[in-house]
Chain A
Amino acid sequence: MYSRIIRNDISKSKLITLTTMIFVAAAAMLVSLAVILVVNLSGAIDTLMKRAETPHFMQMHSGEINTDRLTAFAEQHGNVDEFQVLEFVNMDGARIILGDNSLTHNVQDNGFSMQSDKFDYLLDLDGNVIHVSDGELYVPIHYMRDNTTKVGDKARISGKEFTVAGFLRDSQMNSTLSSSKRFLVSSHDYAVIQNLGTTEYLIEFRLKDLSALGAFETDYASAGLEANGPVITYPLFKTINAISDGMMIGVILLVSVLVVAIALMCIRFTLLAKIEDDYRQIGVMKAMGMRISDMKRMYLAKYAVIAAAGSILGFALSLVFKGMLLENIRLYMGESEHSSSALLYGIIGILLVFLAMMAYINGVLRRFRKISAAEAIRFGNSQGHTAAGAKHLRLSRNRLLNTNVVLGIQDVLARKRLYATMLTVLVISAFIMIVPHNLYSTISSKGFIQYMGIGNYDMRMDIQQTDNISEKAAEVLKKMTSDSAISQYAVLATKSFKVKTLDGTEENIKIELGDHSIFPIAYSQGKAPAAEDEIALSSLNADELGIGVGETMTVVVEGKEEILTVSGIYSDITNGGKTAKAVFPDQSADTMWYVICAELSDPSLINSMVSEYASKFNYAKVSDIDKYIAQTFGSTIRAVHKASYAAILVAIMITVLVTLLFMKMLVAKDRYSIGVMKVLGFTSSDIRAQYVTRSVFVLILGMVLGILLANTLGEMLAGVVISMFGASTFHFAVNPLSAYLLSPLMMIGSVLIATIIGTSGMGHIKISENIKG
């Protein structure tokens, strides 16, 4: 009997059934994809890091190195399993030519190394340790992805010729987020090119007990060993490997939550309308003594069929799309060991969605209990008193508004529960539309840069990884002082210092020394350091050290412990977000790098100035700050821009589809009142005006709520994303024209069109069929 009821029901409401199924399928597909991706990603990362034997602790270092001292430390330390120092020759991009492409304008730090013989292996695309012959060059997978080169290409490194023999996976530096890339050459070739760049050391340890990594880090820092460069640990390697695909998975999960919500909304209002339709029948069944659980089962059965069909379709679709999304993970990380179990987890994810839907439908069907058999049989629809809000709006007291408008608004107020569903969907749509857009206007606004730890200047010179770095900086300064085209400049030298943390251990911190008042940045708290005993911390550093503005910290300067007061905290996304600024003089520590910032008398001359300084000081990286920003954030800004357009499209689609469905259902449900209106002499356009009023009224409410939510919850969510890059405080820089005029107009337009199309069936409603004598 069930199957016949279900078939009849579905064939009577094809469009609604289909739409609900599509939403369920989309939700199931996204959940399944997210689960499959998570399982594959974590599996692939584990496999890669296991095969490559990624170091547990790595200290990058440039400058002098005392290997004996390091070996002695490693032998004495009880937790060290293996230890090695790898060399890495950093080479300017201009000296690397792959096939026809030079890496001159490449933002990565490219370097060459030999295959390790202990651990931290570079792997080929089959996951095997590469054995490289003379004349062969293995290129990071990154350059295969962006089509820079292909196997068999000729490569020239500082004039020496190589053949690209293959691509390599590097468990440390695979990710585009990691700014360095390792090329692999034979030890013989390495010896040849070694002197053509600057050597950096990777001091690497594998530990017996990874859980004691924290203690090992402290031991290393307090032993006063080589530390001129960043430290990266095993968990961080894992995070860096996971983050770009992880972000994609995060977005898919977020979208899937929204789609599940919309699928539930769709089910809710089709179900409510169906109950309304079947009101009399339900009353009769109740009167006949049928149990509520039996009646529920009939309705549940239909939705179980729709949800099951949608889930199966969604799972099938996720199998179709999974290859596309897994491509990146497979390319960078290789195959996962758990790829077969991923499907099983995908099915479990879908099952959970299915069960959640059934539970929800069961909840909606609780309304059966409230249906009075007598009332249902007598009136054929739910009666109840007119809702409170509607009572204040009386036709007999209204002089201002058009009668159709009053009737429309009154209907919404009288049937709040029914319209709440549409309202929720519109709030979600407005949210989806506005949040990404506001995020885009914020990060593309001029003020955002200062906010991110970069001052307002025209030209920037980076001097790093070079010998006699201080002399070279002085050389640049000498030229700048006498250059009338430069109106102001500032020199900022970054050095590594030891800091005593609250628990007494020592940590390394990079401090940028110089005059920070020339090109000020925005401080989220406090101000720039002015006195010699002041220091400003990036928010990530402040969080990690657990100190705030006005508190003090101990820094070892020229062998003495100095107490510095924190003058301010700022957001920074450069250098991993962990920076500090101070003005004290220091002669002891080595300078890791210099940044020289300059403001031009005539900013329009920036191009010629950049090329002049670049050719004169070939060891410095000279950039036009606008270009620097475009290179650093450009791809992010473009991605967010694209995402915001996609979000607008999705929001409009959801709005149109749901409004259309909702209106179609309302018209079906309201056949009787439409008949009454018609018999009283209301024209079709009068009645349409009432429906347009209803949807516009709900839309306006939805938009107001959506905008409020976008600026509170949305801002908070966007803030969480931004804080991952090191920004501490975050406020939307809203473009009011697009956020509060264009977006609402687009929504109103789509709701109007959907309402007009959705109510077009109204013209066919015959009075004689709906009003019985």
Chain B
Amino acid sequence: MKKVMIGDHIVKSFGEGDEKHHVLDGVSAYINEGEFVAVMGPSGSGKSTLLFALSGTDVVDDGKVVFDGRDLTTASENELADIRRTQMGFVFQQPTMLNNLNILDNIILPSLRDNRKNVANITAKARTLMKRVGIAELEKRDITQVSGGQLQRAGICRALMNNPRIIFGDEPTGALNSTSAQEMMDLFSEINAEGTAVMLVTHDANVAARTERIMFMRDGSIVSELQLPKYDGTDMEGRIEHVTVKMREIGI
């Protein structure tokens, strides 16, 4: 299978001198085309840092990050921005929305950058996506006038606007109640089923159990991996059991 994203011996540290702390200690990881991957680990294990490193949103100290054959560690700021805008989507734990814009404008924002003349088509696409995630009636609302779950769904719409090759999610369900979290995961599964690769960082076994491969991290290294069959809507309890057993086994 073709690897869309490869991280090769990535080193990332914070602090200086004696206080220097390796958050990523020569981590190698990959994501296949259309794959649904999760990264698990305790707080401070380097999960989020790995996500920022792989997506080119943070500069690494050493190692290589290759996306679709392009080395991101040597790419310019502008090239990185172009790649993020056209080929990647992001969903974070806290909804990253701009205060001044209403929901619809927030969703279409990244698409307008290159295609302002086409605003009618872009808006139409956004409305279709909003309908699909169930927030069609909220387009004119300010971001302070909707719930956290609704905002996260708007975030997914925004991530999907430019038909990305991969979506990165950093604890996307972390701030949601279980029903909303469930619905979010259904959405991710649907998107993945349509061929978009998804990489989620989570410490929730229920979330990780939806994916097909889980990387476990501790102290800046990937200590283990767990392969699962593609989720088909059945045997969720068995999958969760699998994940928790593995977590216990490696002491996470």
- A residues near B (Cβ < 8 Å) are 379, 381, 383-386, 390, 394-399, 402-403, 407, 410-411, 414-415, 673, 675-686, 763, 766-768, 771-773
Considering only residues 57-90 of chain B, those with a C-beta below 8 Å from chain A are 57-58, 77-78, 81-86, 88, 90
| Cβ distance B15 to chain A, nearest Cβ, rounded Å | 14
Name the A residues within 8 Å of B123 (CB-CB): 396
Contact with A along B79-108 (1 / 0, CB 8 A): 001111110101011101111111011001
Q: How far is the CA of A763 from the CA of B78 in the complex (A)?
A: 11
Q: How many residues of B contact A (CB 8 A)?
A: 45
Are A773 and B113 also in contact (CB < 8 A) when A396-B123, A414-B100 are? no
Name the B residues within 8 Å of A381 (CB-CB): 99
Q: Are B109 and A390 in contact (CB under 8 A)?
A: no
Of the residues B51, B110, B126, contact of A680 by C-beta under 8 Å? B110
| Cβ distance B11 to chain A, nearest Cβ, rounded Å | 15
Q: How far is the CA of A385 from the CA of B126 in the complex (A)?
A: 23
Of the residues B82, B99, B126, B142, contact of A681 by C-beta under 8 Å? B82
Closest to A399 in B: B119
Q: Please provide the 5 A-B residue pairs with the shortest distance between their CB atoms, ordered closest to farther.
A: A681-B85, A773-B170, A681-B84, A395-B105, A414-B100
| Cβ distance A761 to chain B, nearest Cβ, rounded Å | 15
Name the A residues within 8 Å of B104 (CB-CB): 394, 396
| Cβ distance A667 to chain B, nearest Cβ, rounded Å | 15
Q: How far is the CA of A159 from the CA of B73 in the complex (A)?
A: 94
Name the A residues within 8 Å of B96 (CB-CB): 675-676, 679, 771
Are A683 and B116 also in contact (CB < 8 A) when A386-B100, A386-B142, A396-B123 are? no
- B residues near A (Cβ < 8 Å) are 48-49, 51-52, 57-58, 77-78, 81-86, 88, 90, 92-94, 96-102, 104-105, 108-110, 112-113, 116-117, 119, 123, 126, 142, 144, 158, 170-171, 174, 201
Are A763 and B77 also in contact (CB < 8 A) when A379-B144, A772-B93 are? yes
Q: Are A679 and B98 in contact (CB under 8 A)?
A: no
Q: How far is the CA of A675 from the CA of B113 in the complex (A)?
A: 16
Are A768 and B52 also in contact (CB < 8 A) when A679-B90, A682-B81 are? yes
Of the residues A385, A395, A683, contact of B77 by C-beta under 8 Å? A683
Q: Are A394 and B57 in contact (CB under 8 A)?
A: no
Name the A residues within 8 Å of B93 (CB-CB): 772-773
Selected A-B contacts with CB under 8 Å, 5 pairs: A381-B99, A390-B100, A675-B96, A773-B93, A773-B171
Q: How far is the CA of A626 from the CA of B108 in the complex (A)?
A: 68
Q: Are A385 and B81 in contact (CB under 8 A)?
A: no
Are A773 and B57 also in contact (CB < 8 A) when A379-B144, A385-B142, A682-B85 are? no
Name the A residues within 8 Å of B82 (CB-CB): 681, 683
Q: Are B116 and A383 in contact (CB under 8 A)?
A: no
Name the A residues within 8 Å of B144 (CB-CB): 379, 383-385
Q: How far is the CA of A767 from the CA of B168 in the complex (A)?
A: 14
Name the A residues within 8 Å of B110 (CB-CB): 680-682
Of the residues A394, A682, A772, contact of B113 by C-beta under 8 Å? A682
Closest to B59 in A: A766
Name the A residues within 8 Å of B97 (CB-CB): 676
Closest to A380 in B: B94
Are A414 and B113 also in contact (CB < 8 A) when A396-B123, A678-B57, A773-B170 are? no
Name the B residues within 8 Å of A680 (CB-CB): 84-85, 90, 109-110, 158
Q: How far is the CA of A353 from the CA of B135 in the complex (A)?
A: 55
Name the B residues within 8 Å of A679 (CB-CB): 57, 84, 90, 96
Q: Are A394 and B105 in contact (CB under 8 A)?
A: yes
Q: How far is the CA of A385 from the CA of B144 in the complex (A)?
A: 8
Q: Are B92 and A772 in contact (CB under 8 A)?
A: yes
Name the A residues within 8 Å of B52 (CB-CB): 767-768
Q: Are A766 and B86 in contact (CB under 8 A)?
A: no
Q: How far is the CA of A414 from the CA of B143 in the complex (A)?
A: 14
| Cβ distance B182 to chain A, nearest Cβ, rounded Å | 20
Q: Are A395 and B113 in contact (CB under 8 A)?
A: no
Q: How far is the CA of A633 from the CA of B83 in the complex (A)?
A: 68
Q: Are B81 and A678 in contact (CB under 8 A)?
A: yes
Q: How far is the CA of A688 from the CA of B106 in the complex (A)?
A: 19
Are A396 and B85 also in contact (CB < 8 A) when A379-B144, A684-B77, A772-B93 are? no
Name the B residues within 8 Å of A414 (CB-CB): 99-100
Closest to B144 in A: A383
Q: Are A403 and B112 in contact (CB under 8 A)?
A: yes
Q: How far is the CA of A396 from the CA of B101 in the complex (A)?
A: 10
Of the residues B83, B90, B105, contact of A396 by C-beta under 8 Å? B105
Q: How far is the CA of A316 from the CA of B99 in the complex (A)?
A: 46
Name the B residues within 8 Å of A410 (CB-CB): 100-101
Are A394 and B90 also in contact (CB < 8 A) when A678-B81, A768-B57 are? no
Q: How far is the CA of A772 from the CA of B43 in the complex (A)?
A: 13
Q: How far is the CA of A396 from the CA of B139 in the complex (A)?
A: 10
| Cβ distance B179 to chain A, nearest Cβ, rounded Å | 21
Name the A residues within 8 Å of B57 (CB-CB): 678-679, 767-768
Q: How far is the CA of A385 from the CA of B140 in the complex (A)?
A: 12
Q: Are A766 and B58 in contact (CB under 8 A)?
A: yes
Q: How far is the CA of A148 from the CA of B236 in the complex (A)?
A: 105
Closest to A379 in B: B144
Q: How far is the CA of A672 from the CA of B109 in the complex (A)?
A: 16
Name the B residues within 8 Å of A402 (CB-CB): 116
Q: How far is the CA of A410 from the CA of B48 in the complex (A)?
A: 33
| Cβ distance B138 to chain A, nearest Cβ, rounded Å | 14
Name the A residues within 8 Å of B158 (CB-CB): 680
| Cβ distance B4 to chain A, nearest Cβ, rounded Å | 17
Name the A residues within 8 Å of B174 (CB-CB): 773
Closest to B119 in A: A399
Closest to A673 in B: B98
Closest to A676 in B: B96
Closest to B120 in A: A399
| Cβ distance A222 to chain B, nearest Cβ, rounded Å | 77
Name the B residues within 8 Å of A399 (CB-CB): 116-117, 119
Q: How far is the CA of A290 from the CA of B96 in the complex (A)?
A: 31
Closest to B86 in A: A681
Name the A residues within 8 Å of B92 (CB-CB): 771-773
Q: Are A386 and B113 in contact (CB under 8 A)?
A: no
Name the A residues within 8 Å of B117 (CB-CB): 399
| Cβ distance B110 to chain A, nearest Cβ, rounded Å | 4
Name the A residues within 8 Å of B105 (CB-CB): 394-396
Name the B residues within 8 Å of A384 (CB-CB): 144
Name the A residues within 8 Å of B142 (CB-CB): 385-386
Q: 9 extra interchain contacts, Cβ-Cβ under 8 A, other than A385-B142, A768-B57?
A: A395-B108, A678-B84, A679-B90, A681-B113, A682-B113, A683-B81, A768-B52, A768-B58, A773-B48
Q: Are A396 and B108 in contact (CB under 8 A)?
A: yes
Q: Are A683 and B78 in contact (CB under 8 A)?
A: yes
Name the B residues within 8 Å of A403 (CB-CB): 109, 112-113, 116
Q: How far is the CA of A766 from the CA of B49 in the complex (A)?
A: 12
| Cβ distance B217 to chain A, nearest Cβ, rounded Å | 14
Q: How far is the CA of A396 from the CA of B81 in the complex (A)?
A: 22
Are A673 and B112 also in contact (CB < 8 A) when A383-B144, A767-B57, A773-B48 are? no
Name the B residues within 8 Å of A415 (CB-CB): 100
Name the A residues within 8 Å of B119 (CB-CB): 395-399
Q: How far is the CA of A685 from the CA of B82 in the complex (A)?
A: 12
Q: How far is the CA of A132 from the CA of B144 in the complex (A)?
A: 89
Q: Are B90 and A395 in contact (CB under 8 A)?
A: no
Closest to A411 in B: B100
| Cβ distance A657 to chain B, nearest Cβ, rounded Å | 27
| Cβ distance A760 to chain B, nearest Cβ, rounded Å | 13
Q: How far is the CA of A522 from the CA of B174 in the complex (A)?
A: 81
| Cβ distance A383 to chain B, nearest Cβ, rounded Å | 5
| Cβ distance A394 to chain B, nearest Cβ, rounded Å | 6
Q: How far is the CA of A678 from the CA of B104 in the complex (A)?
A: 19
Q: Are A395 and B109 in contact (CB under 8 A)?
A: yes
Q: How far is the CA of A394 from the CA of B102 in the complex (A)?
A: 8
